[in-house]
Amino acid sequence: MNTIDNLLYFVFLEAMTTPPPFSSRDNNTLRSLHSAMTSDTYITEKQGLLLLAILNNQLYAPFMLLANPDYKEYIETPLWKTPFRVLPDVKKIYHIPAGSNQIPLYHGLRDNYTGVIAIEFTFSSTIRNHLKPLSSVIHQVKSGSFYIVDYTERNLYTVMKNLEQYNFNVDPELREHYNTIVSWDKANVDSQFLIDNIEFPMFKEVFTNDLGDNIDLNNLLIKDRKHRFQYTNTVACNNNTLTETIANRTNTKIWINSNMHTLTDIVKSLIELKRLPMLVVFDQTTPLSTITQFNELASALTDNNITNGVGIYFRLDNTPDGKIFNDAIANRKYNIMLDNSTSVAGVLGGKLPKFFLKTTWKPMSVLCIKNNLRQSKTAVYAKCSDLIITYTPTEPLIETRNIWESN
């Protein structure tokens, strides 16, 4: 019987004596399909059509004539040695709870973890392309089409919205949550977080403890604390001063150009915004650079009448430059123990002393001088503050843009 299986055999037989003209991709595909055709599983109808398309490519016609002069007859009325393999039509979206052995280990180690959304389907490049909006958070568990993504409202909405046209079989629990999400009205949800609409007693308690009673909603402190307490307000923003720009930042990080502003100005703004205590992170490139930063900080603190409650919690090697730095700390009495009375605490970038994790002291602001807190223990610790200032001459490339420059 003149099957395509036999034709493919003739092709490989001819390739033993005549260099085949197939492209690298087509050659790999032919060998892969031939391997499948000689296995127990055989190939699918879709794979069969791909095989015919390659063998019928006009670029390969001279070689195909050498392999078998009647190859066109094989292709025009294709016969197959074995019936095509029929793939089950699987399209499922379901929830895998935390602790399941279907979830990779690095997922289950997190606290308060709710599990994952599983997306399982018979391979389809079209469906796979519709998962691209989740490419940064989705994980392919094994080869084929089995993916998982963290079980969050945003991820659930994205998965369901992008795959709804493919009629997936959806877990009733996930369907119910999705219907709840799409029923929300954005304006109504946003209004719940307006500061003058929040009625939760705990919010009022922590807010009052920080800023006091009856504070004017036009006050800059209201703008400044929006990230700390997760509320919004509708008061118009002015960015005419450094203090206003810091208060109106759109996220917890802000860059201040050190060529345009002094540390004295920054410390003054932080005092105005009631942003003490402050953690200062020094650059560690050279001892001379660290000494320069220390002198600038000391002048800024003195200019703003901060003469006590300062602790610098690192020392330099006892070289001539290092001795100057270490003696300056002692002379200024910047060597107090870290406790809740500490107004300013200084550390070296990337080297956070362990006792910071054992005290109740926490910074209201973080000032990074000449560095931008790349991945380090100090960077992780700094996230406890909702105001992290990067004070450098050039804007960090990996930071969110939130810039202050003089007009």
Q: Please, which pLDDT band fits residue 213 given cuts at 50, 70 and 90?
A: confident
Distance (Å, whole) CA 181 – CA 154 = 9
- Per-residue pLDDT of 130-188, as tens digits, reads 888 888 888 877 666 788 888 899 999 999 998 989 999 999 999 999 999 999 888 88
- Of the candidate ranges 83-92, 149-158, 211-220, 256-265, the one whose mean pLDDT is the lowest: 211-220
- Per-residue pLDDT of 230-285, as tens digits, reads 898 877 778 889 999 999 998 999 999 999 999 999 999 999 999 999 999 998 88
Q: State the CB neighbour count (10 A cutoff) for residue 291.
A: 17
Fold of 245-404: Rossmann fold (3.40.50)
Distance (Å, whole) CA 231 – CA 194 = 6
Average pLDDT of the segment spanning 372-398? 87
Provide the mean pLDDT of the chain: 88
What is the predicted pLDDT for the residue at 363?
A: 96
- Whether residue 200 is predicted with pLDDT greater than 90 in this model: the reply is no
What is the predicted pLDDT for the residue at 138?
A: 82
Q: Token pair of 313, please?
A: 């919690």
Q: Please, which pLDDT band fits residue 407 given cuts at 50, 70 and 90?
A: very low
Average pLDDT of the segment spanning 219-237? 87
- Whether residue 400 is predicted with pLDDT greater than 90 in this model: the reply is no
Q: Please, which pLDDT band fits residue 360 given cuts at 50, 70 and 90?
A: very high
pLDDT > 90: percent of the chain: 59
Q: Which of 136, 138, 120, 130 is nearest to 162 (CA)?
A: 130
Going along 232-298, which residue ranges are E strands?
253-257, 278-282
Q: Identity (one letter) of the amino acid at 393?
A: P
Average pLDDT of the segment spanning 294-318? 95
- Whether residue 390 is predicted with pLDDT greater than 70 in this model: the reply is yes
What is the predicted pLDDT for the residue at 108?
A: 44
Q: Identity (one letter) of the amino acid at 318?
A: N
Give the gyration radius of the chain's Cα atoms.
Answer: 33
What is the predicted pLDDT for the residue at 113?
A: 65
- Per-residue pLDDT of 106-130, as tens digits, reads 444 455 567 889 998 887 788 888 8
* Calculated CA dihedral for residues 205, 208, 210, 211, nearest 10 degrees: 160
Q: Please, which pLDDT band fits residue 388 given cuts at 50, 70 and 90?
A: very high
Query: Which of the pair, 28 or 215, is modelled with greater confidence?
Result: 28
- The contacts of residue 106 (CB under 8 Å, 6+ apart) are none
Distance (Å, whole) CA 245 – CA 180 = 38
What is the predicted pLDDT for the residue at 104?
A: 56
Distance (Å, whole) CA 153 – CA 62 = 58
- Per-residue pLDDT of 312-333, as tens digits, reads 999 999 898 889 999 999 999 9
Tell me the backbone φ, ψ of residue 141, rounded to 5 degrees.
-75, -40
- Whether residue 401 is predicted with pLDDT greater than 70 in this model: the reply is no
